[in-house]
Chain A
Amino acid sequence: MKNEKEILKWLNNELSSKEIEDLKQSEDFETLEKIAHYASQLETPKVDAHAALEAFKARNHSKKKTKVRTLNFKTFYRVAAVLVVLLTSAYFLFYNNTKSFETQIAQTKTFTLPDNSEVILNSASKLTFNKKKWSDKRDLTLEGEAFFKVKKGQTFSVNTTAGVVKVLGTQFNVKERKNYFEVNCYEGLVSVTYNNETVKLPPGKTFRVINGTIENVEDFNTKNPSWIQQESSFNRIPLDQVIAELERQYDLKIKVEDVDTSKLFTGSFTHTNKEIALQAVTIPLKLSYKIEGKTVIFYNYDVK
């Protein structure tokens, strides 16, 4: 478009009448003049300002009420509860560093700890430890009986309800059962803390507590606990402990009829044959037994 500047100025009323005359001489100006003229003749709807204001006020008053939004505590608590559940479960799922091993009745398990120490877990026993803290503290909790072959290193502690066993690097067996606590040292030196009293066990020595009293036990010279070879050995052990061990090795319930369960038993029974094992326990004690399903009854045949 020619004379663009002038045309824009003209439409903005910035030209003098002389300049307008000059512009009018230019070609195509006629159309532009008509456009400019007729466009300004166009009509817009006239607003009755006062009526509009009244209408405005009317709608405005209804609008002016501030919306009150009550904080919905129910939803809030729901969300919070869900979050708590999620976070705690996530914590236990992803931050659980507690590792545990468990054996059922008539089952043994061998496994390796993070420092390559070896553990053999006897039946119906449970061992737990913290994986994350293992490198600082070799600390584990035992319920039941286990044999440890500990690699040399920092103190290795086994916590039981009866007492704490601490070693540096050795092989030892810990047996913690109801009213029974026994530690056997096979190699190295084991320290046993029982009732705030600490006893040092050299190889071949046994520390045994039955019903809260510490007992003297003869030395032994085996390399492993007998249960590793699928046999339970007893040296002057009350019959009820022997029965408890039988129940753990064979899935059994043993009842006694007129039998003194505090009788001491020395000997062993195998883990592989129930009949032989029952005989091995009953015959030396002059007892007899009968099997009724899963229940075994021990009785005194002298009586009959």
Chain B
Amino acid sequence: MSDENSKLCDENHFRDFYLKHVQSANNFAYYKCGDDETALDLVQDAFTKIWENCSKIDFSKVKTYLFTSINNLFLNNIKHQKVVLRYAKEAPNLDTNNQSPEYLFEEEEFKQKLTKAIASLSEVQREVFLLNRIDGKKYREIADLLDISQKTVEKRMSGALQLLKAQIENI
């Protein structure tokens, strides 16, 4: 293990680790703060912490450490603000065959409602929901990253779904 730890302190190894995880870390930070610059700042700060403490961090836990650092830095520094996400430019509709104007309009409206609803989720629900939906992570993976149990992840996921559904059907 000490061998792996020293690996993390090795610059090449650290670079690989950085390149591999910077995007998902940035996504996570983004789900929290909703601002790209702030998100990247958080990520860089978290990586800095890892680099400075490279000899002390258990290598098998370093991803968790990364996400926990982002979370803590976020809680310490960033004022809570609404997280409104945008859709990809070429986001296909659910039913790609249906091109009727009514359907297109309906779907567009639905997407608006959805972003609003996601913005109203609690932070922990949103991060779990988006890590699953956007990053396609399994509950087990999310649980490891956030250092919580899979049960908790499922609870938050189901809470998020219910809230989203209720909000969308109400509006």
Binding site for B on A (CB under 8 A): 1, 4, 7-8, 11-13, 28, 31-47, 49-50, 52-53, 55-56, 59-60, 63-64
Contact = CB atoms under 8 A, between A and B. Distances in A.
A184 B42 CA distance: 94
B22 A47 contact: yes
Interface residues of B, number: 49
A39 B158 contact: no
Contacts of B70: none
Given A11-B132, A31-B169, A37-B94, A53 B88 contact: no
Contacts of B22: 47, 49, 52-53
Contacts, number: 115
Contacts of A8: 139, 154, 157-158
A45 B157 CA distance: 23
B110 A12 contact: no
Given A12-B132, A47-B40, A59 B48 contact: yes
Interface of B: 15, 18-19, 22-23, 26-27, 30-31, 36, 39-40, 43-44, 47-48, 51-52, 85-89, 91-92, 94, 107, 110-111, 114-115, 118, 129-130, 132-134, 136, 138-139, 154, 157-158, 161-162, 164-165, 168-169
A42 B44 contact: no
Nearest to B27: A44
Nearest to B135: A44
B157 A47 contact: no
A33 B94 contact: yes
Nearest to A46: B23
A32 B161 contact: yes
A42 B85 contact: yes
A38 B162 contact: no
A44 B27 CA distance: 6
B23 A42 contact: no
Which one of A36, A47, A50, A60 has the greatest number of beta carbons of chain B within 10 Å? A47
B167 to A, nearest CB: 10
Main secondary structure on B side of the interface with A: helix
B133 A42 contact: yes
Given A41-B88, A42-B88, 14 more contacts: A13-B138, A31-B168, A32-B161, A33-B94, A34-B107, A35-B114, A38-B87, A39-B129, A42-B118, A44-B31, A44-B134, A56-B18, A56-B47, A56-B48
B19 A7 contact: no
Contacts of B85: 42-44
11 contacts: A1-B162, A1-B165, A11-B132, A12-B132, A31-B165, A37-B94, A40-B133, A40-B134, A43-B89, A45-B36, A49-B18
A285 to B, nearest CB: 97
A68 to B, nearest CB: 16
Nearest to B89: A43
Contact of B18 (A32, A33, A53, A63): A53
Contacts of A63: 48, 52
Contacts of A33: 94
Contact of A1 (B23, B39, B134, B161): B161
